[in-house]
Structures are given as C-alpha cells and as structure tokens.
Amino acid sequence: MSEVQSYRDLIVWQRAMDVAVATYELTRGYPRDELFGMTSQSRRAAASVAANIAEGYGRASKQAYINFLRIAQGSLKELETHLILAGRVRIARFDAIDPILSQAEEIGRMLKALISKLQSHPGR
C-alpha cells in the first residue's frame, strides 16, 4: 500500500468522485422541470461528499478532518435519499439508481472506517 500524499490518493475520495460522476450522468435524464429541484439537489449532495473529504484532508487538525468526514457522511445519506425518492416518484429507474446506491453504501463503510482509524491513532 502506497503512502497517501494527497486527498486524491484516498480510495474513498476516488470512489466519491465516481459516485458524483454517475449522479451527474443519471440526472441528465431527469425532467427539465426538476432542474432546480431534484437534479440540483442530487448533484450538490453527490459533489459535497468528495469535496468534504478533500476539505477535511486539507485542514490542520485531525479533529477538523474528522468533522469534515462526518459532513461527507451526511451528504452521502442526503444523496441516497434523493436517489431513492427519484425512483419512488419515477423520475429515474431503480435499475439505474441501485448501482449508485451500492457504491454509496461502500463509501459510507469506508468513511466510517477512516473516522475510526483517525480517532484511534494519535497525531495526524
């Protein structure tokens, strides 16, 4: 395993970027009248996951990093909710949503593990 030199080296950030890209691709097919509703909210939540991982990584303290990882967890749950709602109101098909939800669950586990690791190791 190579040493992490940048937030871009973090697998969890890379996976979060993949989910953001998949969300943008999915929402291109949403109805135009959802542009400022479900489309915008889903995209913002998806982008926020990777952005908060990166922002936390760039902070000076471990506690600030952990706090941003927790914000990323919240954004991930927000994204999951938007995707499930899109399926339930038939804006998108569940066969298109489910792979993104599966990736989101994996990212959630990775964030939880990273937070636990940071909390259990002294220093940064």
Q: What is the domain-level CATH number for residue 11? A: 1.20.1440.60
> Per the confidence metrics, is the pTM higher than 0.85?
yes
Count: domains in the chain: 1
Residues 121 and 34: their CA atoms lie apart, in Å, by 45
Query: Is the residue at 104 inside a domain?
Result: yes
Per-residue tens of pLDDT for the chain, all 124 residues: 568 889 999 999 999 999 999 999 999 999 999 888 999 999 999 999 999 999 999 998 999 999 999 999 999 999 999 999 999 999 999 999 999 999 999 999 999 999 999 999 876 5
Query: Is the residue at 1 inside a domain?
Result: no
